[in-house]
Structure 1
Amino acid sequence: MAEKRVLKDVEGKLIKEDNKLITATANMSPLSQKLFEIAVAAIDPNSEDVNTVRIDKELIFKSLELEGVNRNNRLTSMLSNLSDDASFVYTEIDHGARVDVKIKPVYQIKNNYRKPYSEVSFAPEIMPLLVELHNKFTKYPLSDILKMKGKYSIPLYRWFMLGFNQYEYYSKLKERTREQLSEYLTPRIDIIELRKLTGTEDKYKDWRNFKKYVIEIPIAEINKYSERLSVEWSPIRAGRKVVGIQFDISKKYVDEVEENIDSEKLYSDSANSKYTLLLITNQLLSPIDISNRDLIIGIGETLYPRYDNFADKYGFKQLEKHIQYLGKNKPKKVSSLELYLSKAIDNYVAKLESDSKDVDRSKKTNSSVKNRESLPDWENEKPKKYNSEEKNKLNADIDRLFRELGSVD
């Protein structure tokens, strides 16, 4: 029988886990979480003994920053904690009945001091959730996990990747509407569910402490270490009480390996969109921004579908007025233009829908959104007009830029 493979490197390793585990409460320390993820990365689906994996000790020492002469002792202690104390808890529905499930992921560990690797044997019950048998799996880079130190950073990161993966999966298949796709990048979670996800049902009862340790610190760490995600958040209130959290996920970069084939078309379509010209005209984008491929592809994927929905419902002229207003009132410093513009159009849609409901309740005869006094001040402003010389100059600048970009290898 062939010698079992030993995991010696995490570079490029993607973790794949069932969505049940992503939304489960992970009762384990940050070190145990990292050890578990390393062990998952070592799984070889083609192995005769798929439940047992071998991990190079030097990889573990480096990943967990273990130094000194007693590293083997400390490694045995950490592996024992993973085996004895770690668990996942989740709820599923079986024929209409709620079923609470608790799984201890590891049932055996071996750390032979004379061998360069350690062995971890997974419990049989968890293997179907770790070996990809269907498409309800979430994947993420192991390297992201290993950089994080906070206890709540890892479960939140995994949960964000669930929505991000669904967005990427369904956007390629085109099996979801634009609104459904945007919801994957703007997930909401109530405080009770967030506490379950992070295992803080009985911790941080004071909102200020909960906000700091369970939300702000983990998100700062995710934004610092994740290669793909950037996350912002805002509270959802019922009166003065915070009852949930709204997250906004944006993409940091385009994965050259997985998306290189489609990126040229995505970039071209977005750069030549009428919305790009509209943003340039109102100084929300500069012509030189078109050379920023990540930015242009990002707004094309996440912002322009929102603009399509808005224009279909309220008209393109209304969208022009909205963008003109943003151009005149844009803050001096915006951390993410893509996120800023997406939130702006979402907030305006919510405002228009709220105003429409108010009109229906009060039974006013004039239900035209356009004439509502409660709309922003810019609603009644006349759109800026450009003379033919200004239009020709702008078009010439854009044409020149595209010719320059086309000459670049």
Structure 2
Amino acid sequence: MDSINDKRKVYHMKDLKKRKVAEHNDLITSVANMDKTSLKMFELAVSCIDTKNPPENNTVYLSKKELFTFMKVTSSNKYTRFSEAVKKMQKQAFFEIREWDQDKDKFEMTSIVPIPYANWNNYNDVVTIRFDQAILPYLINMKTNFTQYLISDLSELDNKYAIILYRWFSMNYRIYKNCVEENRSKEQKNFYKNPTISIEKLRNMTNTIGIYGRTDNFLKKVIEVPLEQINKHTHMSVEFDKLTKGRMISGIQFFIEEKQMNKINEDGNAEEKSSNNDQNEDDLFTKAMQSNFTPLLFQNNLIQTEDMQNKEMLEKLIQEVYPLYDELEGLRKGAAKANIEYVAKNRSKENKTYIVEYLKKSAESYIETLKKRKEEQAMKPKKENYSRKKPIRKESIPD
């Protein structure tokens, strides 16, 4: 037994603050059909993986003391609860991963039970966890499209949606930091620092399709309560705003900040926080999101979220199209909205590539139409108000 235990790398609480979880972005955006206990247990097990030295036989070893402390389990029946959690994770929990082929506009779905094997006993502190072979590529192939975050941030989160959102925020913020390091455009930085997501995708990611039917109830359960925990217990500070389509809430935009002055780099060492000057600059992305016309274009499916990364498109919208919409509003209130809805209804799919030019020409044409109507109205002769007055009878002068 001792020779076997010598080969086991059992992690203890002293390592927990420095340990990180590394996962592929496809796994982070997947549907996690788990409760909070199963999800936290999975995340803790993943934090034990050394990506540079993958575990032998896909197996890692946890400390029971660490696991119970991490899960905030202090009751006398903790072993029973742990056993039930493992059984539930193996029988019911799975990740549903969707991998897109953007060029062909096709996707492939994969359903994976992440931990099919777990072993423990009543005479030592070791818990043996073995990952399914299918999940390993999302946990050890970390060359591109992966995210790292501190496992200690998840310790205080006792809400499933808080864990799911925290992972998604971490993914977007990591991409944002990469954009800063690579000196990418400001709109790309802001796109990931202030990410947007449709209600449909948010429901899919949080596995809430068909539940929390009322929008206000959904927002409270899936966004407001989780954000309270994230803002209180993690190094992130996140706010949100609603994106509307007519009277309906069509999506959510989040605004992510880091609370700590010092951050932990890839080697676990502290580094100074990068400057937030980018946030205060009046860049194209901010201008586009502040305009009342951007939500209208989103609501009518004339632009998509990914279009906000396109610097050329943003420049043309702000400099060439939005001024035309302002002119339309000056000619007639609501004319810009009417023009956008007209374009959405009548444009062909082939015009997607040239949508900005299409919007511009349509707005210019509508401006000319409204101006002609105004001129015609001005040239029409005014109708005189003929009032039929009774003739005044002059009294006859007596002879």
Is 1:14 the equivalent of 2:20?
yes
Identity of aligned residues (%): 29
Q: What is aligned with 2:262? A: 255
- Correspondent of 1:31 among 37, 47, 54: 37
Runs of 4+ aligned residues of structure 1 deviating over 4 Å after TM superposition are 259-264, 307-311, 349-353
1:358-373 equivalences in 2 (<5 Å): 358-359=326-327, 360-361=363-364, 363=367
The separation in 2 between residues aligned to 1:31 and 1:351, in whole angstroms, is 51
Is 1:142 the equivalent of 2:148?
no
- Segments of structure 2 that go 5 or more residues without pairing to the other structure are 289-313, 328-362, 369-399
Is 1:199 the equivalent of 2:204?
no
Over residues 319-338 of structure 1, what are the superposed CA-to-partner deviations in whole Å (9 max), with x where a residue is unaligned? xxxxxxxxxxxxxxxxxxxx
Provide closer, same or farther for how the CA distance between residues 111 and 249 of structure 1 changes in structure 2, counting only shifts above 3 A. Answer: same
Q: What is aligned with 1:125? A: 134
Over residues 197-216 of structure 1, what are the superposed CA-to-partner deviations in whole Å (9 max), with x where a residue is unaligned? 11000101111111110111
Provide closer, same or farther for how the CA distance between residues 262 and 53 of structure 1 changes in structure 2, counting only shifts above 3 A. Answer: closer
Letter in 1 for 2:280: L
Provide closer, same or farther for how the CA distance between residues 261 and 18 of structure 1 changes in structure 2, counting only shifts above 3 A. Answer: closer
Q: What is aligned with 1:73? A: 80
The separation in 1 between residues aligned to 2:285 and 2:161, in whole angstroms, is 36
Paired residue secondary structure (1:126) = coil
Provide closer, same or farther for how the CA distance between residues 19 and 261 of structure 1 changes in structure 2, counting only shifts above 3 A. Answer: closer
Provide closer, same or farther for how the CA distance between residues 262 and 363 of structure 1 changes in structure 2, counting only shifts above 3 A. Answer: farther
Q: What is aligned with 1:53? A: 60
Over residues 289-323 of structure 1, what are the superposed CA-to-partner deviations in whole Å (9 max), with x where a residue is unaligned? xxxxxxxx32x14223x359889x9xxxxxxxxxx
Provide closer, same or farther for how the CA distance between residues 148 and 351 of structure 1 changes in structure 2, counting only shifts above 3 A. Answer: farther
Over residues 119-174 of structure 1, what are the superposed CA-to-partner deviations in whole Å (9 max), with x where a residue is unaligned? 11000000010114312101111111111111211111111111100011121122
- The structural deviation recorded for 1:115 is 1.7
Is 1:302 the equivalent of 2:279?
yes
> Normalising by structure 1, what TM-score?
0.66
Over residues 51-106 of structure 1, what are the superposed CA-to-partner deviations in whole Å (9 max), with x where a residue is unaligned? 11110000011111222443222222212222222111121135834211111101
Is 1:155 the equivalent of 2:164?
yes
Paired residue secondary structure (1:106) = coil
Q: What is aligned with 2:198? A: 190
The separation in 2 between residues aligned to 1:138 and 1:214, in whole angstroms, is 22
- The structural deviation recorded for 1:358 is 3.5
Provide closer, same or farther for how the CA distance between residues 256 and 137 of structure 1 changes in structure 2, counting only shifts above 3 A. Answer: closer
Is this contact kept in 2: 1:43–1:51, CA < 8 A?
no
Q: Over aligned residues, Cα RMSD in angstroms? A: 3.0
- The structural deviation recorded for 1:263 is 4.2
- The structural deviation recorded for 1:255 is 2.8
Letter in 2 for 1:75: F
Is this contact kept in 2: 1:87–1:103, CA < 8 A?
yes
The separation in 2 between residues aligned to 1:152 and 1:65, in whole angstroms, is 18
Is this contact kept in 1: 2:49–2:55, CA < 8 A?
no
Q: What is aligned with 1:240? A: 247
Paired residue secondary structure (2:254) = strand
- The structural deviation recorded for 1:193 is 0.3
- The structural deviation recorded for 1:184 is 0.5
Paired residue secondary structure (1:54) = strand
Provide closer, same or farther for how the CA distance between residues 262 and 226 of structure 1 changes in structure 2, counting only shifts above 3 A. Answer: closer
Q: What is aligned with 1:104? A: 113
Which is worse superposed, 114-123 or 255-264?
255-264
Is 1:213 the equivalent of 2:221?
yes
The separation in 2 between residues aligned to 1:309 and 1:153, in whole angstroms, is 27
Is this contact kept in 2: 1:80–1:109, CA < 8 A?
no
Provide closer, same or farther for how the CA distance between residues 3 and 309 of structure 1 changes in structure 2, counting only shifts above 3 A. Answer: closer
The separation in 2 between residues aligned to 1:199 and 1:261, in whole angstroms, is 36
Q: What is aligned with 2:7? A: 3
Q: What is aligned with 2:306? A: none
Is this contact kept in 2: 1:186–1:248, CA < 8 A?
yes
| Larger helix share, 1 or 2 | 1
Provide closer, same or farther for how the CA distance between residues 126 and 69 of structure 1 changes in structure 2, counting only shifts above 3 A. Answer: same
> Normalising by structure 2, what TM-score?
0.67
Q: What is aligned with 2:71? A: 64
The separation in 2 between residues aligned to 1:216 and 1:247, in whole angstroms, is 12
Q: What is aligned with 2:391? A: none
Paired residue secondary structure (1:6) = coil
Is this contact kept in 2: 1:24–1:90, CA < 8 A?
yes
Is this contact kept in 1: 2:262–2:271, CA < 8 A?
no
Provide closer, same or farther for how the CA distance between residues 350 and 26 of structure 1 changes in structure 2, counting only shifts above 3 A. Answer: farther
Is this contact kept in 2: 1:16–1:132, CA < 8 A?
no
Provide closer, same or farther for how the CA distance between residues 261 and 143 of structure 1 changes in structure 2, counting only shifts above 3 A. Answer: closer
Q: What is aligned with 1:231? A: 238
Letter in 1 for 2:135: I
**Largest Rg, 1 or 2:** 2
- Segments of structure 1 that go 5 or more residues without pairing to the other structure are 267-296, 314-345, 365-409
The separation in 2 between residues aligned to 1:262 and 1:79, in whole angstroms, is 38
